[in-house]
Chains A and B, each alone.
Chain A
Amino acid sequence: MAEKETQKTYRMHLMICAGTGCVSNHSYEVKEALEKELRKHGLENEVVVVPTGCNGFCERGPILVVQPGNIFYQQLSVKDVPHLVEEHFLKGRPVAKLMYSPPETKQPVPVLNDIPFFNKQVLIALRNRGLIDPEKIEESIAHDGYKAMVKALSEMKPEKIIAEITLSGLRGRGGAGFPTGLKWQLVRNAMSTNGGQKYIVCNGDEGDPGAFMDRSILEADPHSVIEGMVIGAKAIGATAGFIYVRNEYPLAVERLSIALKQARDYGLLGQDILGTGFDFDIQIKRGAGAFVCGEETALIASIEGRLGEPRPRPPYPAQSGLWGKPTCINNVETWANVPTIINRGAKWYAGIGTKTSKGTKVFSLVGKINNTGLVEVPMGITLREIIYDIGGGIPGGKAFKAVQTGGPSGGCIPKEKIDLPIDYESLSEAGSMMGSGGMVIMDEDTCMVDVARYFLTFTQDESCGKCTPCREGTKAMLEILTKITEGKGTPEDLTLLEDLAPAIKDTALCGLGKTAPNPVLTTLRYFRNEYETHIQNKKCPAHVCRPLNVYTIDPGLCLSQGHGCDVCRRNCSSEAIAGQKNEAHAIFQDKCIKCGVCYDVCAFGAVKVD
């Protein structure tokens, strides 16, 4: 049994990242190679390889952290393994060339905590990342897993649990930021017909493009979510819970299933948990991956087996949720915070963060950023600290332009606001929102009109079609944006967009529609000049909207640098380039379809875009 293996003594633990990112970068192959090589040197009883959840520094995967010592190895491949095993694990000489070197200093940094990406982070929801094997409940238990549950079930009255969560200031991490304690109180107070049945739901329907916080928590530490849900169940008086997770997260579903089974086998779920007389169990419901099912009423419909469409609120799920019973829905990250609050106390938790936003928030950093990955930071940290100190800045020496927060429902925050402290209120004042925590970083090569169009394409595509404002409104907005990016926009289009946006916000049925215009509104607010350039000058300043680009060839460069290499002409699909080898080439503007291939293939920078 797993328990026995944990007790076996090893002198060295090799913590290999087995989150989805590293797994797709072949971390399991590296793990096998390590085990094989360790056996070859007869080290299998001295050194053990432990698969863990996401380490966070996804950019540098596959990642291996050696304990003791916290030595951080990155971008490992199977061919690095023999050298690493012989040098470090057999002979005790850490291998510098496999360590992380920050681009500024180029000096290898051996110890994880010394790497800037890690040392500004504060881990609460991700407290066990990289420390435990998520498929072994004993390792979770060793790291205080289910300790808060014991306290809640044996020593705390429901009112006391709710008071503690309220006092901590924890707010919903799914995006809207509703105070968790208040939500629990509402569900606790709600009267239930038919035997007082109430339900607990974990919302793991993470759908924002570029967001993977919930997936990582479920993969790295599923027991933290289960434990949080049991505590919530006791607080509101529920006996059954559901975790709604998308089927496109196979590893999360698998680890969650293993965790639930182990918890049940140990009697940490089920009847009379730990002899406290409390009964509670959890089922997994797999969603088909429709964005709208992250909306709580649509999610409820989906769990009930109905079409995943939202319905008007009120009544809120707290009054009438699953099968008409009072239901408490919280996001994965919210649940993962709960045990730590109970263990360390509301006062401790409330000491982290800002006046209105307490604790930490997990963000996924993606886009034009050096250190793509998952970070957990205290509320109130500035965008600058996240992007430059933790994220390592923008690749290729490009200039930072904007950050998109909150996914398709959020907005773009421009570089002028880079010192904005991150909390629910300041993001909302800036026209964006916390959302689930996706951060898409954009550099100078990004066209903001195109970004708005991209997000509208997403929401339009994911609109369930039930209410007219969202179904027709997002479509109309998308058509206007497409027109502008094709150079067919008129000044009236901007007025029309500004009329449509508030109308959709005010009248759409659910959060998806109500927030869909946000990317358009914020880009209009901060980057109106880009819209105007598209409309009046028929130009895309970032050269992203290709129909607006004019490609020309600099004849001097073409001849002097490229000797008329002819590559552009051969690659042109519409025979729009004239010239032959050793001659300067030229583009027939009337034939050019603006595909940009000549620009991409010219090795001499002779093709110009304007």
Chain B
Amino acid sequence: MPKLTIQDLEKIREQARRGLVIREGGAFKAKINVHMGTCGIAAGARTIMTALMKEVERRDLHDILLTNSGCAGLCSQEPMVTVELAGRAPVKYVNLTETKIQEIFEKHVLGGTIVKDYALGIGSEKTDY
């Protein structure tokens, strides 16, 4: 009796691959950029990032890129994130809370519908990712 069958190996491969997608610069379904300047952090950007990490982990998603960048310049409306679905224009959300970001994740990131109530506008400065 073999320790592992070919099907088992393929399952392991599939599972392991999901965790490593991030290293390959492959296509992501969505990119969420949390603005992490000193102002952002002071206004609670870390809570927003933690909430996003939880969402991603809870749902075992591997095609969502969570990244951070410096202050976007609109310090008074931090915490702020930019959500960019593949092939679509980036959308900036401002004055976020944990509940708001959960709603944005559910509706915009997963559902594709912009949550207009929290959105600042469409468009963003470009980042390198």
| Residue interface mask A306-322, B partner, CB < 8 A = 1 | 00000000000000000
- A92 and B70 within 8 A (CB): yes
Given A15-B23, A68-B65, A90-B36, are A46 and B13 also a contact pair (CB < 8 Å)?
no
Interface pair B53/A3, CB less than 8 Å apart: no
How long is the Cα–Cα vector from A11 to B65 in the complex, in angstroms? 7
- Given A46-B49, A69-B129, residue A275 in contact with residue B16 (CB < 8 A): no
CA distance A144 to B14 in the complex (A): 10
The smallest beta-carbon distance between B96 and chain A, in angstroms, is 16
The proximity string for A residues 250-275 relative to B, scoring 1 for CB distances below 8 Å and 0 otherwise, is: 00000000000000011110111111
Please tell me if A462 contacts chain B, counting CB pairs below 8 Å: no
CA distance A273 to B4 in the complex (A): 8
Complex-state Cα separation, A111 to B49, whole angstroms = 25
Question: What does DSSP make chain A's interface, helix, strand, loop or mixed?
Answer: loop
**B59 to chain A: closest CB distance in Å?**
10
Asked if residues B2 and A68 are in contact (CB atoms below 8 Å), the reply is no
* Interface pair A141/B36, CB less than 8 Å apart: no
Q: Does B113 contact A (CB under 8 A)?
A: no
- Given contacts A13-B22, A70-B25, A266-B3, A274 and B16 within 8 Å (CB-CB): no
User: Which residues of A lie under 8 Å from residue B17 when comparing CB positions?
Assistant: 142-143
* In the bound complex, CA of A275 to CA of B15 (Å): 21
From A9, A67, A268, B4 is in contact (CB under 8 Å) with A268
A7 to B57, CA, bound (A): 10
B23 contact set on A, CB distance < 8 A: 13, 15, 67-68, 131
Using CB atoms and an 8 Å cutoff, list the residues of chain A in contact with chain B: 3, 6-13, 15, 42, 45-46, 67-70, 90-94, 110-111, 131-132, 138-139, 141-144, 146-147, 150, 154, 265-268, 270-276
Q: Are B20 and A139 in contact (CB under 8 A)?
A: yes
Q: Given A10-B22, A91-B41, A275-B6 in contact, is the A68-B67 Cβ separation under 8 Å?
A: yes
Q: With contacts A6-B16, A15-B23 known, is A266 near B4, CB below 8 A?
A: yes
- With contacts A138-B16, A273-B2 taken as known, whether A146 is within 8 angstroms of B9 at the C-beta atoms is yes
Q: B1-40: which residues lie under 8 A (CB-CB) from chain A?
A: 1-6, 9, 12-13, 15-20, 22-25, 33-38
Q: Within the assembled complex, what's the spacing in Å between the Cα atoms of A597 and B92?
A: 68
12 extra interchain contacts, Cβ-Cβ under 8 A, other than A91-B36, A143-B20, A275-B2? Answer: A3-B16, A9-B60, A11-B53, A11-B67, A12-B67, A42-B46, A69-B129, A90-B36, A91-B41, A150-B6, A266-B12, A275-B6
Asked if B62 CB lies within 8 Å of chain A CBs, one says: yes
Contact B16 A141 (CB under 8 A): yes
Chain A residues closer than 8 Å to B56, beta-carbon distance? 9
Point out the residues of chain B lying under 8 angstroms from A93, CB to CB.
Answer: 69-70
Taking the complex as formed, is B66 at the interface, i.e. its CB lies under 8 A from any CB of chain A? Answer: yes
A274–B2 contact, CB under 8 A?
Answer: yes
Return chain B residues, CB-CB under 8 Å to A275: 2, 5-6
Contact A92 B68 (CB under 8 A): yes
Task: Kindly list the 6 A-B residue pairs having the minimum CB-CB distance in the complex, ordered from nearest.
Answer: A267-B3, A92-B68, A142-B16, A11-B66, A92-B69, A275-B2
Q: Residue B125 at the A interface, CB < 8 A?
A: no
B79-105: CB near A (< 8 Å → 1, else 0) gives: 000000000000000000000000000
* Interface membership of B128, Cβ < 8 A: yes
Q: Measured between alpha carbons, how far is A9 from B19 in the docked complex, in Å?
A: 6
A154 contacts which of B6, B37, B67 (Cβ < 8 Å)? Answer: B6
Are the C-beta atoms of A68 and B19 separated by less than 8 Å?
Answer: no
User: Which A residues touch B62, using CB under 8 A?
Assistant: 9
B65 with A92: CB separation less than 8 A? no
Q: Mind listing 30 A-B residue pairs with CB under 8 Å?
A: A8-B19, A8-B57, A9-B57, A9-B60, A11-B49, A12-B67, A13-B23, A45-B53, A46-B53, A67-B25, A68-B23, A68-B67, A68-B129, A70-B25, A91-B37, A92-B68, A93-B70, A111-B128, A131-B20, A141-B12, A141-B13, A142-B13, A142-B20, A146-B9, A154-B6, A266-B4, A266-B9, A267-B4, A271-B2, A272-B2
The distance from the CB of B45 to the nearest CB of chain A, in whole angstroms, is 9
CB-defined contacts of B37 to chain A, threshold 8 Å: 91
A7 touches B6 (CB 8 A): no
- Nearest Cβ on chain A to B91's Cβ, whole angstroms: 18
Residue from A45, A91, A141, A270 in contact with B9 in the complex, judged by beta carbons closer than 8 Å:
A141
